[in-house]
Structure 1
Amino acid sequence: MTQTKRFLVYVASNHAGLESERYEVTRQLARMGILTCGFPCREDTSPYDWNLARSQIEDADLFLMILGDEYGPMAPTGISYLHREFVHAQSLSKPVLSFIKNSLPSPVQTDSHRRLAGFHNVISKASCRLWHLREELVSHVKTAVVNALSNKSGGWQKLEATDLVQIEVESNEAPLKVDNKQWLQQSRQLIRLQLSAKVYEAGNNTLEEISVSLRWDAIFACAARLMSSPASEEKIRAALEELAQEEVKGRLLKKHPLAHAIDDIRINRAQFTELVKQWLQHGLVVNKSVSGRDAWKLSAQGITRLISISAQKAT
């Protein structure tokens, strides 16, 4: 049976004042056979989950932002969470559609109003449409999304039930045998992690490349603690990025003394793939397929090595 691919759209908005508009937009997208993800930025619930938002933006085929009368809750970077999502989507070079509410200027200009006006200026440099009434917004969204996705490849496809079962992928290559002496030597090797980070300075953000030297055993132990059950690439990468975070921020703030934030620290994708390949070759992890996506779990050998690393730290 032929399965139809459906596009995934990340819908970004603040919560305050846009509840009904967001509902109507997501309903219109559903009518068009489009899947949606994302959650409104709000201050009255649990803390904002940037890692979740970032991963959803990266998974989506298109980023759609609805901007109302509020700049929105602020992120530690000095910009709103919504602004942060917009910047990240742009950095991925994926289609970005913005819809700005055409409101009368406030007679009293607060700091929030000035930030909102500045955000308008940033958005206006890309693809954006003004809206006033909810019906007008929905009409603009329908037209813009059709145009943006008309010639786009990609999309998502429903998995068969058998694909939802966790399947352990057996490697064709036998694990490399490493004796304790070799293991000790390897575990003490320094690995230069290649990372990138966004530096926020004077209202702008720039992408900086940086390398951080960490011991092989520290890197493996950091990842291994997540792999008692199958862990996704996203989860493992986030842990390694957090491991390097303090040094990355310290060095970049020293290089950019006027910067007010360092954010979005990411490990080089090719290097992460190489690390996982090494772990597989040494029989430390096994590859799993969970809901059609790669994940990794510690093998018996990996558990033994993790215990060994922990014991060395304790002595």
Structure 2
Amino acid sequence: MDRRYQVFISSTFTDLIDERREVMQALLEMDCLPAGMELLPAGDTDQWTLIKGVIEQSDYYLVILGGRYGSVTEEGVSYTEKEYDYAVELGIPVMGFVPAEPDGSPVGKTDRSDAAAKKLAEFREKVQLKMTKKWKNAEDLGSKVTRGLMHLIKNNPRPGWVRGDQAMMPETRAEIAELNAKIAQFEKKEVESSVGPPVQMDDAFAHGEEEVELSLRHKGFDYGYKEEDGDLTYTWDEIIEVLGPFMIDEAPEPALRETFNKHMLSDIQSDTEDGWATGWREESVEITDRSWGAIIVQLRALRLITTGTKKRTASDKAVYWKLTQAGDEYLVSLRAVSTTAKNVERPE
């Protein structure tokens, strides 16, 4: 597979313009993707954040030392050394290129202060603890980079970049096909199990006219934001009557929860004797997580609901619920209207 590698070039800039150009040309001839400060876009993001992002995306890191330590950060460390330390910290394979004659840099391309020269010497010693090559001039540096990077790639394999239409290797395609076959088998087993004996409601748990107290938060605006906490009491049959119709087909849990929130709000607005505030604008009710969880657990324990099984998009992270056969039958018994054969006497 045709794979290209992104290579970050780190160095001082104004004194090594020709050298950097030669290195970039060498990298392009190797079908590599050079990255460096001159290629960073202008924008509102601070310089170091941009540099870090490019280094993180790079496969290899090259540092070129000349006769200058370079501009320093607030910590007193040059950007070149800070970049080098960050690449080493990330575990990116690095290679250094140092002058064959450190004292032979032309006038104007060396540090003027002794402090900067000392920091450069210390940085050069740090770089030479790892793989380094010495260069004499721009042309020599280009050839050294070519040979050095080939050695670095051979001994330190990296992911690199590939064309989108070539990204999937034959082994990956085979693995995906195998996984799809397994998924199909699981789906087949699930369908076969779903047509087995019908699940019966487990009436060992609270149900019917037995009551449960649910906590909620009542919110709205009345000369400012208002909220109050409280409880409402419902029978399990009422809860099933409210939620059940929406779970005949699969329904996402957030939608079910919102349905019950609206039902509770309606109860608050219609029951003015229960101490709830009234007349708020943008009024809403939100059942607490604990109470909502109690509803879901109870309906599952009763074997009235189960999780949905339909395929969904990868971005859909919601939990879906649907009625079991027992749940569907129980809902019908609650909501269906039966006919009677009673005779009703008409008033005279």
Output the TM-score relative to the length of structure 1.
Answer: 0.48
In terms of fraction of residues, the more strand-rich structure is 1
Q: Which has the larger radius of gyration?
A: 2
Output the TM-score relative to the length of structure 2.
Answer: 0.44
Which structure exhibits the higher relative contact order, with contacts defined as CA atoms closer than 8 Å and separated by 6 or more residues? Answer: 1
